């Protein structure tokens, strides 16, 4: 089955909304020029000021949150982290949470008016922790999805390094086949949608991964390991422990977190909430209804 070549990035929303029994919100692509000239791109859903800001994980993009947003039904902002989606790649190859957070904080100050329920998955969760710690005025609640500081990532990089040994394909269908062979995505339809958003067609007609991460996979993990080592000289939990807003960890039962990671979270943040759901690492794709409900509940609580 060939993957459709439609260039409209919102082409899937009507079908998704019909399957979920929800309405299709207004949706637009927005962009911000950063102080150094790079562009940070995002999706804005719904009418009115954003109430929820969403940060994806490494190798993903803002559209990973589409289903969560459809179920949430509230104005939301989904940001493409630097080097991902339609945001500029970094020439210095620095995709550490601290560097990513600096971009996100600028964007949130520009694009949001009220403190946000900030939800971050994986690398986006580490980024969100830095944003919340260093820019408390921007965040009313912080939700981390299958990530904690200092997490043992030995297994995840091995899988991703193997997956990104191939970075270009004859067509998108080939990319879908590879993703499914590695167990990424849910149904084939879901995987096709994810591949559509995460690839681009080059001038020579071949398809390649859109995010910088795929093309510098070895360097990216080496840089993250170096950043973790540097943080370990102080305390990798320092930013998260400094967050004044309520914090919730959502752990996928089939995700990347080990029991020791979850135990460390509960020990280091005794006043936070930890919840395990029957989902994989990408909880936003395997149990989007839970995250939508969690965000909705957070919006009903008085902001601190």
Return the CATH number at 152. Answer: 3.40.50.1820
- pLDDT bin (cut points 50, 70, 90) of residue 66 is very high
Of the candidates 91, 95, 84, the one whose C-alpha atom is nearest the C-alpha of residue 209 is: 84
Backbone angles phi, psi at 188, to 5 degrees: -60, -40
Residue 8 lies inside a defined structural domain of this protein:
no
Structure tokens at 161: 């390094």
User: Choosing from 66, 122, 212, 239, which is the catalytic residue?
Assistant: 122
Element (DSSP H or E) covering residue 65? none
What distance in Å separates the CA atoms of residue 283 and residue 105, rounded to the nearest whole number?
Answer: 24
| Catalytic site includes residue 88 | no
- State the pLDDT at residue 233: 62
Residue 103, domain extent: 13-298
Catalytic residue among 146, 239, 261, 287: 146
Domains in the chain, number: 1
Residue 5's pLDDT band (cuts 50, 70, 90): very low
How confident is residue 230, by pLDDT bands cut at 50, 70 and 90?
low
User: Does 291 map to a domain?
Assistant: yes
- Residue 157: inside a domain, yes or no? yes
Q: Is residue 190 part of a domain?
A: yes
pLDDT, tens digit, 9 for 90 and up, residues 153-182: 555 556 777 888 888 999 999 999 998 888
Active-site choice (56, 63, 84, 281): 281
pLDDT at 4: 44
Active site residue 211: no
Confidence of residue 220 (pLDDT cuts 50, 70, 90): low
Q: Which of 277, 298, 153 is nearest to 220 (CA)?
A: 153
Residues 6+ apart with CB under 8 A from 55: 79, 81, 104, 118, 119, 120, 121, 124, 125, 127, 128
Q: Which of the two residues, 64 and 4, has the higher pLDDT score?
A: 64
- Specify if 4 maps to a domain: no
Q: Mean per-residue pLDDT for 15-30?
A: 95
Q: How far is CA 164 from the centre of its chain?
A: 18
84 has catalytic annotation? no
In a domain, 84, yes or no: yes
């Amino acid at each position: 089955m060939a993957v459709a070549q439609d260039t409209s990035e919102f082409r899937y929303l009507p079908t998704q909304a019909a399957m979920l029994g929800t309405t299709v919100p207004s949706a637009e692509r927005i962009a911000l020029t950063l102080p150094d000239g790079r562009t940070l791109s995002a999706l804005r859903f719904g009418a009115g000021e954003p109430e929820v800001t969403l940060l994806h994980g490494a190798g993903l993009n803002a559209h990973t949150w589409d289903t969560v947003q459809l179920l949430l039904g509230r104005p939301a902002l989904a940001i493409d982290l630097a080097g991902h989606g339609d945001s500029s790649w970094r020439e210095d190859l620095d995709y550490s949470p601290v560097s990513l957070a600096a971009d996100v904080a600028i964007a949130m100050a520009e694009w949001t008016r009220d403190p946000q329920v900030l939800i971050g998955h994986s690398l986006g969760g580490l980024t969100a922790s830095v944003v919340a710690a260093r820019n408390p005025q921007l965040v009313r609640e912080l939700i981390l999805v299958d990530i904690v500081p200092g997490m043992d990532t030995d297994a995840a990089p091995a899988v991703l390094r193997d997956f990104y040994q191939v970075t270009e394909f004859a067509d998108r269908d080939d990319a879908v086949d590879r993703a499914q062979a590695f167990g990424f995505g849910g149904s084939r339809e879901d995987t096709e949608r994810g591949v559509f958003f995460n690839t681009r067609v080059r001038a020579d007609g071949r398809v390649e991964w859109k995010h910088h991460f795929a093309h510098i996979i070895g360097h990216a993990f080496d840089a993250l390991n170096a950043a973790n080592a540097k943080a370990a000289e102080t305390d990798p939990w320092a930013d998260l422990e400094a967050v004044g807003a309520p914090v919730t960890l959502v752990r996928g039962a089939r995700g990347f977190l080990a029991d020791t990671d979850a135990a460390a979270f509960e020990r280091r943040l005794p006043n936070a909430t930890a919840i395990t759901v029957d989902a994989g690492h990408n909880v936003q794709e395997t149990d989007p209804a839970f995250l939508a409900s969690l965000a909705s509940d957070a919006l009903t609580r008085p902001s601190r």
